[in-house]
Amino acid sequence: MRSSIKTATMLVCLCSLMAATSRAGDGVQVMVTNDGTEDILVTVYDMNAGPQQTVLQATRINGFTSVPISAVRDANGEANLAWIATTADAGSRKCGHGNASGITVDSSLSVHADSSCSA
């Protein structure tokens, strides 16, 4: 009888610990979407991670295609991201960059490379 109670208690503690760890590790799921027709190379930085962390590095995203990422939540449960993009075609190089804060779960982050690149 005692061993059954010990086993049950240990299982309850283990399940509680696993659930707490799972909740703490949950990030904000975001779809990074190329909002143009040209293929681009995109790098996304998680500004909530300390220090900032690259969550997508020079990844090719075809026109009007999305790539899923997970970012760290801030105190409000939101992600804060920065991104840079360049066209995949080196012959007609264009660039883009931006910051997005207050991103909630299952949101989309639109990225593009439609400006001239600074030297």
CA separation for the pair 2, 33 (Å, rounded)? 57
The pLDDT of residue 76: 96
The pLDDT of residue 11: 43
Sign of torsion over alpha carbons 15, 104, 52, 68: positive
The pLDDT of residue 115: 95
% of the chain beyond a pLDDT of 90: 73
Residues in the chain with pLDDT values less than 70: 1-25, 119
The pLDDT of residue 26: 82
